[in-house]
Amino acid sequence: MAGDADRPERVSLTEKAAQLLARLTETHGPLMFHQSGGCCDGSSPMCYPDGDFRLGNSDVHLGDLHVGGIERPVSVWMSESQFEYWRHTHLTIDVVPGRGSGFSVEAPEGVRFLIRSRLLTDEELARLGS
Amino acid sequence: MTVYAAPGTAGSIVEYKSRYDNFIGGEYVPPVKGQYFENITPVTGRPFTEISRGTAEDVERAVDAAEGASAAWGRTPPADRALVLNRIADRIEANLEQLAVAESWENGKPVRETLAADLPLAVDHFRYFAAAIRSQEGHSSQLDGDTVAYHFHEPLGVVGQIIPWNFPILMAVWKLAPALAAGNAVVLKPAEQTPASIHLLVDLITDLLPPGVLNVVNGFGVEVGKPLAQNKRIRKVAFTGETTTGRLIMQYASENLIPVTLELGGKSPNIFFSDVAAADDAFYDKALEGFTLFALNSGEVCTCPSRALIQSDIYDDFLGAAIERTRRITTGNPLDTATQIGAQASNDQLEKILSYIDIGKQEGARVALGGERLVHDGDLAGGYYVAPTIFEGHNKLRIFQEEIFGPVVSVARFDGYDDAIKTANDTLYGLGAGVWSRNGNTAYRAGRDIQAGRVWVNNYHAYPAHAAFGGYKQSGFGRENHQMMLDHYQQTKNLLVSYSENALGLF
């Protein structure tokens, strides 16, 4: 879905988050995101070494983040059941000062990835076919 | 009314060490890699002690210590283990005020809650499991005249426990008490947001437990939690947190073929049927308070009643009164016993809540109250505070579907019983729910029809030991807070005994 030039994106990232991803890739190798739900550190994007989190039939691919300086795009995923409630929104991955979360790799840096959301426009939704 | 002095200032009843190492084999040992991180209080946003930044090497040491201690602890008679648990309870009770202030400073929750709930519940929890293990019985079955099957409860061995930051001491105790009662040795990882108060507790009880039975490794999820969950020598993992990490822990557990218990949060409905407003009496007042409980613990509770569903014919009046009730909530310094809502636990939590308030507004939900960050004066200016917030909208909005973990409630109306149940169950989660009605039949039926592991009827946010707590649907599995949790920390040994003198006659 992402990479198709005519298709609007569902997910993007801020410049600060892109810089952090580039730094983290040097330490951890290629990375991926899986959006979490639920308690405590939930409702946050979890960043893992690519392949560390095993994806399955219950996951939806939201898009690929192309980051300057990183060879392989960073894929972003969410469970299908959660996507049903999120599909009308566009997500931007940002980063804020924070103190850890789950097993996400950025925590020891004293920062935390965070989702900012906006509504997809009617036109974007039509082009996404959802 | 009391305002406790902030730890680190004159007159405080809490004294922290300048740093906390890992607690392994009955003593504090520095982390192998020698790294530390600052522990910040959300009350002011400033650091107050240093915490060891553990790694896989420290986890290995802790598992070594736990393995060395588990066999003897598992063989210790239940009465003796129960006695240790009771002594731990007594020790906590004797230091309750100090621990309550520390827990407030650590997490940002109001001290009136830690004094009245977190710590008394922790004390009671140890006593409950002391009683549960003493009264636990195995089973025997006579299969025929000469053959008997005996079923014994045996401990698992070494277990890993990953603790959340919303009730740092109480959630640790919910996991520790049944695991220790059942005869296991524990490697525990506190939340990196809130590690210090657990160490005040450990300091108090070090002499009560044999070395190695309880080990605490501090650090970040990716550096300590992950190697703990992946460790080949642990026999079980217990985790409270969110869904993605829950799935990851199950994936690791599948590699080692070990069981897990997971408590993964919710989006709990709180349903108010019309008859609650049949009279303006004590019960109506109780129901309004039940609505306002979304703000308890600053909303940082897995079972926060974050969706209020109100029957249409009472909607306007009930919500109007509930808004007024919520408006009267006293916010401010968590160490002031008059404060009802304190700080959110961390800066990223504050930012997340504000991002949800933003998407709620974008989706067209109406802000009926709050909807903003609170900035207090003086030392509190750098702390993480949010105004109690009431949104009106409908159940398909993201603020009705995602756990915000802040003092934010999303309110919708319903028409009739079926609509109430349909909306209540239209969620990925199933941890808690509330039902309010003067009609016992309605309340009972709703309680049974809601897909959640805990349904409060005409009350909310009570967590007494001996009432099972755990999730349906994507809220996880396992039942804490009840003697059935012993089963999750034990395995069954069947001894199948023949008392016959005679051969089978087959060979």
Is residue B459 classed exposed, middle or buried when 0-12, 13-18 and 19+ CB atoms within 10 A define those classes?
A: middle
A5 is a domain residue = no
Please state, rounded to an integer, the average pLDDT across all residues of chain B: 97
Decide if B268 contacts B434 (C-beta within 8 A). Answer: yes
Q: List chain B residues with CB under 8 Å of A79.
A: 243
- Residues B381-425 pLDDT 10s: 999 999 999 999 999 999 999 999 999 999 999 999 999 999 999
Q: Per-residue pLDDT for A3 more than 50?
A: no
A95 is a domain residue = yes
Q: Provide the ipTM.
A: 0.94
Nearest to B81 by CA among B233, B186, B163, B170: B186
CB-based contact (8 Å) between A75 and chain B? Answer: no
Catalytic residues of B: 263
pLDDT greater at residue A101 or residue B401: B401
Q: Using 50, 70 and 90 to split pLDDT, how confident is the model at A1? A: very low
Cβ distance A43 to B404 less than 8 Å, yes or no, reads yes
Our CA-based measurement puts residue A49 at a distance from the nearest CA of chain B, in whole angstroms, of 11
Decide if B399 contacts B411 (C-beta within 8 A). Answer: no
- Residues A103-128 pLDDT 10s: 999 999 999 999 999 999 999 999 99
Cβ distance A38 to B53 less than 8 Å, yes or no, reads no
CB-based contact (8 Å) between A42 and chain B? Answer: yes
Q: Which residues of B293-330 are buried (b: 16+ CB within 10 A; e: fewer)?
A: bbbbbbbbbbbbbbbbbbbeebbeebbebbbeebeebe
Sorted by where each begins, the domain ranges of chain B are 19-264+475-493, 269-457
CATH number of the domain at A50, please.
2.60.300
Cβ distance B352 to A44 less than 8 Å, yes or no, reads yes
CB-based contact (8 Å) between B398 and chain A? Answer: yes
Q: What angle do CA B212, B218, B224 make, to 5 degrees?
A: 95
**pLDDT for A4:** 57
Domain of A31, in residue numbers: 11-128
3-state SS record for chain A: CCCCCCCCCCEEECHHHHHHHHHHHHHHCCEEEEECCECCCCCCEEEEECCCCCCCCCEEEEEEECCCCCCCCEEEEEEHHHHHHHCCEEEEEEEEECCCCCCCCCHHHCEEEEEEEEECCHHHHHHHCC
- Interface contacts A/B by beta carbons within 8 Å: 161
CB-based contact (8 Å) between B96 and chain A? Answer: no
Helix (H, G, I), strand (E, B) or coil at B412: strand
Decide if A26 contacts B339 (C-beta within 8 A). Answer: no
Q: Per-residue pLDDT for A38 more than 50?
A: yes
Alpha helices in B77-160 (DSSP H): 78-94, 96-107, 111-113, 119-135
Q: What is the mean pLDDT of residues B366-393?
A: 97
pTM: 0.96
CB-based contact (8 Å) between A116 and chain B? Answer: yes
Q: Using 50, 70 and 90 to split pLDDT, how confident is the model at A2? A: very low
Q: Per the CATH hierarchy, to which homologous superfamily does domain B19-264+475-493 belong?
A: Aldehyde Dehydrogenase; Chain A, domain 1 (3.40.605.10)
> CB count, 10 Å around CB of B190?
29
Q: Using 50, 70 and 90 to split pLDDT, how confident is the model at A18? A: very high
CB-based contact (8 Å) between B246 and chain A? Answer: yes
Which fold would CATH assign to domain B269-457?
A: Aldehyde Dehydrogenase; Chain A, domain 2 (3.40.309)
Cβ distance B222 to A34 less than 8 Å, yes or no, reads no
A17 is a domain residue = yes
Cβ distance B222 to A81 less than 8 Å, yes or no, reads no
**pLDDT for B105:** 98
Decide if B449 contacts B437 (C-beta within 8 A). Answer: no
Q: List chain B residues with CB under 8 Å of A102.
A: 221, 225, 241-242, 244-245, 248
Domain count, chain A: 1
Q: Per-residue pLDDT for B429 more than 90?
A: yes
**pLDDT for A130:** 62
Helix (H, G, I), strand (E, B) or coil at B66: helix
Our CA-based measurement puts residue B311 at a distance from the nearest CA of chain A, in whole angstroms, of 24
Closest residue of B to A77, CA-based?
A: B244
Cβ distance A42 to B474 less than 8 Å, yes or no, reads no
- Residues B244-257 pLDDT 10s: 999 999 999 999 99
Is residue B164 classed exposed, middle or buried when 0-12, 13-18 and 19+ CB atoms within 10 A define those classes?
A: buried
Q: Are strands B158-162 and B147-155 parallel, antiparallel or unpaired?
A: unpaired
Q: Per-residue pLDDT for B436 more than 60?
A: yes
Residues 430-489 in B contacting A (C-alpha not used; CB under 8 Å): 474-475
Q: What is the mean pLDDT of residues B58-66?
A: 98
CB-based contact (8 Å) between B255 and chain A? Answer: no
Decide if B457 contacts B443 (C-beta within 8 A). Answer: yes
CB-based contact (8 Å) between A97 and chain B? Answer: yes
**pLDDT for A5:** 60
